[in-house]
Amino acid sequence: MLTTHRPNGSIVVLNVQVPRIDAAISMAFKEQARQVIQNETGRVVLDLRKVEFLDSSGLGTLVAIMKMLDGGRRLELASCGDAVRKVLTLTRMDSVFVLHASLNDLQTDNADFSIAHADGQDAA
C-alpha cells in the first residue's frame, strides 16, 4: 500500500501504491502510515500520483495521519491528480495540507533538489 524513501535526512516520502483511498482500506492505510512516521521528526510527504479516487473516509485518514505528526507539523501532499485535488478544494482541505505539484517542487531549507522515486520512475 505504501513504499517509503528518504531523499535526504529531513524528509520521508510515503509513495501511495493504490489507486483509491477509501473506506475499504482506510484503517490499514492509516496503520501502515503510523508505523512509518511514528519516530519521524522531519517533514512527511505523501506522494499521491497513483491515487485516482479519494472519498470522505480517505480524507479522514489523511487528517488522522497529519494528527499523528507532533509539533504542529503539517502533512505534505505531492502529485495530486485532478480528482484528488478537486476533493481537497471542495472541502477546503487544500488550506490544511501543504500541497506540491510534484515531488520535484519540494525544497529543503538549503536548496532545491530532485527526487527519484523508489520504483525508478521520474518524480515529475
Here the CATH number for the domain that contains residue 64 is 3.30.750.24
The answer as to whether 55 is a domain residue is yes
In which domain, by residue range, is 22 found?
2-105
The answer as to whether 93 is a domain residue is yes
The answer as to whether 100 is a domain residue is yes
Predicted local distance difference test score (pLDDT) of residue 8: 78
Query: What is the pTM (predicted TM-score) of this model?
Result: 0.83
- Hunting for cell 472519498 — which residue is that? 55
Predicted local distance difference test score (pLDDT) of residue 75: 94
Profile the chain (124 residues) by mean pLDDT over runs of 10 residues: 87 96 97 93 95 97 95 91 97 95 71 44 45
The answer as to whether 124 is a domain residue is no
Predicted local distance difference test score (pLDDT) of residue 20: 98
The answer as to whether 114 is a domain residue is no
The answer as to whether 101 is a domain residue is yes
Predicted local distance difference test score (pLDDT) of residue 39: 86
The answer as to whether 34 is a domain residue is yes
Total structural domains within the chain: 1
The answer as to whether 123 is a domain residue is no
**Spatial contact of 105 and 115, defined as CB atoms under 8 Å apart:** no
